[in-house]
């Protein structure tokens, strides 16, 4: 894989480090942390709305209410992404 000189220069300006890989790792880590915060806010909003955690909500999901079903799918997406992002964060942190 190759990266253009222009992109490498931008990377180093945005996140100065000894090596481009280190700069990229730092930027990726910041992006992952930002996304984690975003999905935590979404999950927290649903927790407050329904007064329970996702697993409990999932087990007692009422049928036939379109808004509740839509919330379920949105909440499930947020929880799934949180798991994926936390795994990515752990992977990125291993190489620090």
Per-residue pLDDT tens digits of the chain, which is 96 residues long = 788 999 989 998 988 888 888 999 999 999 999 999 999 999 999 999 999 999 999 999 878 889 999 999 999 999 999 999 999 999 998 876
Q: What is the pLDDT of residue 32?
A: 98
CB 35 within 8 A of CB 86: no
Question: Which domain, by its residues, includes 61?
Answer: 5-94
What pLDDT, on the 0 to 100 scale, is given for residue 63? 82
- Which residue has 């999950």 as its token pair? 43
At residue 96, the pLDDT reads: 66
Residue-level pLDDT at 94: 85
At residue 78, the pLDDT reads 99
Number of structural domains in the chain: 1
Whether 16 and 23 have beta carbons less than 8 Å apart is answered as: yes
Residue whose pair of structure tokens reads 């947020």 in the numeric block: 78
76-88 b/e (C-beta count within 10 Å ≥ 16 → b): eebbebbeebeeb
């Amino acid at each position: 894989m190759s990266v253009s000189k222009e992109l490498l220069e931008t990377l180093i300006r945005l996140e100065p480090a000894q090596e481009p890989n280190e700069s990229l790792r730092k930027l990726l880590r910041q992006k992952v942390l930002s996304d984690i915060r975003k999905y935590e806010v979404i999950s927290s909003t649903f927790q407050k709305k329904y007064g329970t955690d996702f697993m409990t909500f999932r087990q007692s999901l009422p049928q036939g209410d379109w808004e509740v079903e839509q919330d379920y799918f949105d909440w499930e997406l947020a929880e799934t992404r949180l798991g994926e992002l936390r795994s990515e964060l752990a992977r990125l942190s291993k190489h620090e």
